[in-house]
Amino acid sequence: MKKKYFYTIGLLLLVVISCDKQNDWLAAKKQKDLVIPEKLKDFQAVLDQFTSIHTALPIFGLVGTDDFVLTDADFDRCPEEIRNGYIWNKNIWSTDESTNWTQGFEVIMRSNVVLDGLKNITTTSATQLKYRDIEGQAFFYRALFYYGLSQLFCNAYSNNADKELGLPLRLTSDVNIVSQRSSLAKTYEQIISDAVTASELLPEKSANNRRPSKAAAYAILAKTHLVMANFEKALFYAEEALKLSDSLLDFNSNYATISNTYRFPANPFDHPEIIFYAKGMSYGAVMPATAAQAVISDTLYDSYDDFDLRKSLFYYVNTNNQVKYRGSYTGTNSNFCGLATNELYLISAECYTRQEQIDLAQNRINKLLKNRYQQDHYSEILIDNNEDLLIFILQERRKELIGVGNIRWEDLKRLNMETRFQKTLTRNLKGEFYVLLPNSPLYTLPIPNNEIQTSSISQNER
């Protein structure tokens, strides 16, 4: 029975993504031996599939950032999709599919299966808390993956969000419903709604960092409002999350060590900063490993002070004097894509600065950085000019969150909306120059062709 259950769930999640397989699914529903989750433990099992959820977060945006650089030879070694993404080609995907899109919507469907199924369960006083927890987890995952997909397949949020294309909002497990693209404003409204609901349902502390908590839901809300330039609300949710979990790792401790290949413990349950653990899809060019094709930008590497422990813990300099990234919080060759307190401190510091609360901003950035420098070699930041402090904090975001999810890609997109922070990216490969201008439509990845063909949704203009 157990094998049959997991086979059925796997079938449901695979066929629901493509509308052309609806008939197969409807036929499968008629089979007498079809098993549908019925108990709370069954629904929890749907959400506990580590390889289907916690390793499926998209990181393709990293390929197009200014943090990673490919030589001519290494560029030729990369798969077609990576080459296309690196030079911001109009066409990206090497086939009609995109794993970023497909796996993201598979997790969203898992959430919908759980949310729809829970409606048929009658709770008791003994099961009410567990029911609320599972329901909160489902809302959390739907918010998390809609957020991730929006950062790749939608334009940067702006005052025109109600007129721009968002994502198809699939809010039911009914495969007969074919969703068209909502507005960008509606997409963000859904992310916020799901994350708020999750925060109301989830416990303050989860069983472990593989399951979401109230603090994790607040972290999604902080990130979402940050990219919307709603700094007051981003600050509120960052601070709410830090009230529940504010630990920082002292890089002087023996928890991380330069003698380890991957610096931090592998797949940790006890990392003091990790609120929610997840890692990204595997892209060899930008993975945190010596074997990665890309090297780190000289501008980025040279921005670290010699007493800054991140310079040795995050990077490795090989015999060719090339700098490779090896400092992922996963402690493996996978990029960390979860939620952690270091990012929350940086969101808080940025938002305090944007509200001209310099003392509070300095407090937040100093608390983070004193845990990053060699003991007795850190001088507190005392920048009393608001603009200078903001620039400093944004630089620290880049240095601290290197290789984490799509954060650098997201920052480039959102900061391009402010003229003073706009940045033009360039590549020089084999004597040919490629340019990515601020607010270019190339910042928004194309919807995969199979989705266009099966659901007839609108394609992104590039």
Cα angle: 410, vertex 89, 157; to 5 degrees: 30
Asked whether residue 28 carries a pLDDT value surpassing 50, the answer given is no
Q: How many other CB atoms are there within 10 angstroms of residue 51's CB atom? A: 7
Q: Average pLDDT in the 207-232 region? A: 97
> 131-153: per-residue pLDDT in tens?
999 999 999 999 999 999 999 99
213-226: b (≥16 Cβ within 10 Å) or e: bbbbbbbbbbbbbb
Of 83-87, 181-185, 190-194, 253-257, minimum mean pLDDT range:
253-257
Instruction: Give this prediction's pTM.
Output: 0.92
Question: What is the per-residue pLDDT for 173?
Answer: 93
pLDDT-derived band at 52 (thresholds 50, 70, 90) equals confident
Q: How many other CB atoms are there within 10 angstroms of residue 389's CB atom? A: 23
Question: What is the per-residue pLDDT for 18?
Answer: 38
Reading the block at residue 155, the tokens are 């334009």
Asked whether residue 202 carries a pLDDT value surpassing 90, the answer given is yes
Q: Average pLDDT in the 70-89 region? A: 97
Question: What is the per-residue pLDDT for 51?
Answer: 86
Give CA–CA dist 100/59, Å, rounded: 8
Asked whether residue 362 carries a pLDDT value surpassing 80, the answer given is yes
pLDDT-derived band at 8 (thresholds 50, 70, 90) equals very low
193: which residues sit within 8 A by CB, 6+ positions away?
none
CA distances from residue 231 to 113, 191, 419, 450 in whole angstroms, order as listed = 34, 17, 17, 37
Give CA–CA dist 229/163, Å, rounded: 18
Query: What is the DSSP code string of 238-274?
Result: HHHHHHH------TTSTTS-TTSTTSS-SS-S--TTE
Question: What is the per-residue pLDDT for 27?
Answer: 40
Question: How far, in whole angstroms, is CA 108 from its chain's centroid?
Answer: 14
Asked whether residue 324 carries a pLDDT value surpassing 70, the answer given is yes
Q: Which residue has the tokens 């310099």?
A: 358
Asked whether residue 19 carries a pLDDT value surpassing 80, the answer given is no
Of 14-18, 60-64, 140-144, 282-286, minimum mean pLDDT range:
14-18
- Identity of residue 199: S
Question: What is the per-residue pLDDT for 409?
Answer: 98
